[in-house]
Chains A and B, each alone.
Chain A
Amino acid sequence: MKRFRRREEQASVGLDVGALAPMVDMMTLLLVFLLRTYSTELAPTPPSGPFALAPTSSEESRQGGIEILVATDAIYVDGQRIAAWDYAGTEGVVKPLYDRLLASRTKARAEVHADGTVPWRRLGRVLATAQAAGMEELAIVGGYRGSL
């Protein structure tokens, strides 16, 4: 009996190198996947309502600047609700947005995060308003959908 017990104990001691190597491989693959697909830049979202960025294949990253969020119901600047579309008129500059951007003219770049369903008649007004308020650089931010 003693002889048999000793053999069993010897077989179960520690981990086998052959079992650890695939684990390291898996971890490396997971790390590479996460580094490629995850981002430390948190996408802004409106406090309520659905919001989904349009997909893009552009790999350029954000460069800072004023953050304009165009949702289906309202416009937000740096997280603050600026204007509701129902009260923003139908054409021309969006006055509350224009005033807010004029007040923060220390930044000359604006990045627009627009919901994928927002039509150009609204997005175009936001971009034109930002341009009228002196923003020299404009960019649309989308959700990266490139391959690994």
Chain B
Amino acid sequence: MKLFRREPEAEADVRPTLLGVVTLMFLLLFFLLATSSGQRLGVVDLRLAAPGEAPPLPHAGLVKSVVVSLQPSAARVEFEVATTDIASSADTRELRAIDVPSSGDRVDLAALLAALETVHRIDGSQERAEVRPSPEVSTATLLAVLDVVRGSSQAPLFPRVSLQ
């Protein structure tokens, strides 16, 4: 029986292969470092309301409109809610507002997110929101608020944002 037993094969030397991989990685690293920059860009598409533009057709869901009034260190979420689902009733809308407090000298983004999620829970089909920044609001604050209003790709809130 011993005669038919296979002799254990000598292990293949994988070092040259691994060294090749490491060398390739090194080359790729240098190539990447030479051709790219450390700052990745992100683009926020906007819709700017034209002067005198007619308002969009009313939304069919419960939340008719969402407006975020933005100050440098505070915000206010105003939304119009239909108090009945009978579409023909003209005077059944109610304007509600949620004041977002400041966090230090900035807008409390967590509180803003909670306010917008509250509105989104009422009517998840509403995708539009309008942001009205005051003249002194910085671009950094505006972009941070736009990120919150749009939501993430996993949990979108109001992806169609317009600026007034």
Q: Which residues of A contact B (CB under 8 A)?
A: 14-15, 17, 20-21, 23-24, 27-28, 30-31, 34-35, 37-43, 53-63, 70, 111, 114-121, 123-124, 127-128, 131, 137-146
Question: Is B43 a contact of A58 with CB atoms below 8 Å?
Answer: yes
Contact A142 B15 (CB under 8 A): no
Q: Does B89 contact A (CB under 8 A)?
A: no
* CB pair B29 A123 closer than 8 Å: no
Q: Report yes or no: A120 in contact with B44, Cβ–Cβ below 8 A.
A: no
Q: Is the CB of A119 within 8 A of B138?
A: yes
| A55 pairs with B25, CB closer than 8 A | no
Show the binding face of B for A, using Cβ within 8 Å: 14-15, 18-19, 21-22, 25-26, 28-29, 32-33, 35-48, 50, 133-140, 142-144, 146-147, 150, 152-153, 163
A17 to B28 CA separation, bound complex (whole angstroms)? 22
Query: Bound complex: CA of A61 vs CA of B140, how far in Å?
Result: 18
Nearest-neighbour CB distance to chain B for A4, whole angstroms, equals 26
Bound-state CA distance A108–B136 (Å) is 29
Query: A107 to B41, alpha carbons, bound, how many Å?
Result: 21
Q: Tell me which residues across on chain B come within 8 A of A114, comparing CB atoms.
A: 139
Top 4 A-B pairs, shortest CB-CB distance: A27-B25, A121-B135, A116-B140, A144-B42
Contact of A119 among B37, B43, B135 (CB under 8 A): B135
CA distance A124 to B153 in the complex (A): 26
Contact A140 B46 (CB under 8 A): yes
Q: CB distance A39 to B36 under 8 Å?
A: yes
Contact call B18/A17, Cβ cutoff below 8 A:
yes
- Cβ-defined contact, B46 with A139, below 8 A: yes
